[in-house]
Structure 1
Amino acid sequence: MSDPSDHLLNFVAVGGVSGWALPYWFHMLALTLTRAAREWFKKLPDGQIKSWDDLVVMFSQHFGQQKKHTRDTSEVLDVVRRDNESIEDFISRFNDESLNIGGISQDMLRGAFRKNV
């Protein structure tokens, strides 16, 4: 699991679209968890979770350190063309980095690309 917030958002979206009754949500969530998250879920004491909100809070607190941190959009200015890097390779790397940074305006993308090519 990379980002617990993303996992929960995706899970809630699927559960809502699928029309699951709330008791199924707990069982279905358990099926989506892997490794440490699954072990954590299995070890929860009976009766500790009284609602879906309780589970979300406990899950978020326990796995919150794994949350993806947003990158500053200005980092796109640091994606420069390397010595001996073909223009095609640079374009590919620039696009990948830009997508990973996210939230960059089109004007900033164009400016950074022109400056760094």
Structure 2
Amino acid sequence: MIQLTQEALLALIHDASTRAAAQAMAQFAAQHPINPPPPSPCRSRKLSPEEEEQRQEEVNSRVSRPEVAQTQEHPFSTAILAEALPASVKVSNLSEYDGTGDPQEHLDKFYAKIDWYDLSDAAYCKVFRTTLSKRALAWFNQLPAGTISSLEQLTQRFLHHFSMNKRVPKTAAFLFTIRQRENEPLRDYMQRFVEAVHEVPHVNHELLASIIQQNLSPGRFKESIAGKPPSTMENLLMRSQKYIRIEESNASDPFLGVKRKGREEEKEQKRKRT
């Protein structure tokens, strides 16, 4: 009987366990083959500039899809967000509203522009939003998500929010403040007065004659109105042209102006004597 030392016995046990482990691994590999992953197309070759551009466009199109935008909190309803502007429509030259002017005036200008286009209500909503800037745009962006579903709803909220900026029509009392200044030419004054009249709707013509008679500096035109009040604004302007020409003629020829002034003073003295 062969007797092994302790060291030899341990060596035999180690060799046997190593061979058994190697056989087990070989058997597992045969039963479960590992297939290498197919080569990636991106790694197989470098993309051409045209292919790279096409790939970038595909990425951009996925990012800009309506369903992506709808996941964000937007004041427009999903129906409005889902509808895109026709590619053939180019709306330009629209005035902007920054939140400081008259909202009704901005809305009137907007309607005057879009009347030329045949768009859907959703498209008009998107176009109107592009006209807002600064404070007005900040107001729109803070509206609750999905609460705007029509152009009428949007414009009504717009007018209500900026109603404090709406220009209030002036009354006839405003016209009494438009007085002729000292040494102000009649032409300049009439221009100022007419501009002021346009700010006052529905002015009574009889009241208008009384106002301008009171506001004019002493002179022949004022006397003419007092003697025969103008019946219309057109009549007032037409009669003023005569006295504007006389005044400008006197200014261009001082000697002629002195002669006319002397004749007027002489007539006035005769009138007083009689």
Unaligned 5+ segments in structure 2 are 1-96, 217-274
Normalised to the residue count of structure 1, the TM-score between the two structures is: 0.79
Residue 31 (structure 1) shift: 1.8
SS in structure 2 at match of 1:100: coil
How do 1:2-81 residues align onto structure 2 when only pairs under 5 Å count?
2-81=101-180
Q: Which protein, 1 or 2, shows the higher relative CO under an 8 Å CA cutoff with sep ≥ 6?
A: 1
Residue 109 (structure 1) shift: 3.4
Aligned residues: percent identity? 25
Amino acid at match of 1:20: L
SS in structure 2 at match of 1:18: coil
Tell me the matched-pair count. Answer: 117
Moved more, 71-80 or 97-106: 97-106
Corresponding residue of 1:112? 211
Give CA deviations for 1:66-107 in whole Å, capped at 9, x if unaligned: 111111123223311122222222112212222233432444
Amino acid at match of 2:103: P
SS in structure 2 at match of 1:101: coil
Q: After TM superposition, which residue ranges in structure 1, 4 or more long, deviate above 4 angstroms?
A: none
RMSD of aligned Cα (Å):
2.2
Corresponding residue of 2:41? none
Residue 40 (structure 1) shift: 1.5
Higher helix share: 1
How do 1:78-117 residues align onto structure 2 when only pairs under 5 Å count?
78-117=177-216
Unaligned 5+ segments in structure 1 are none
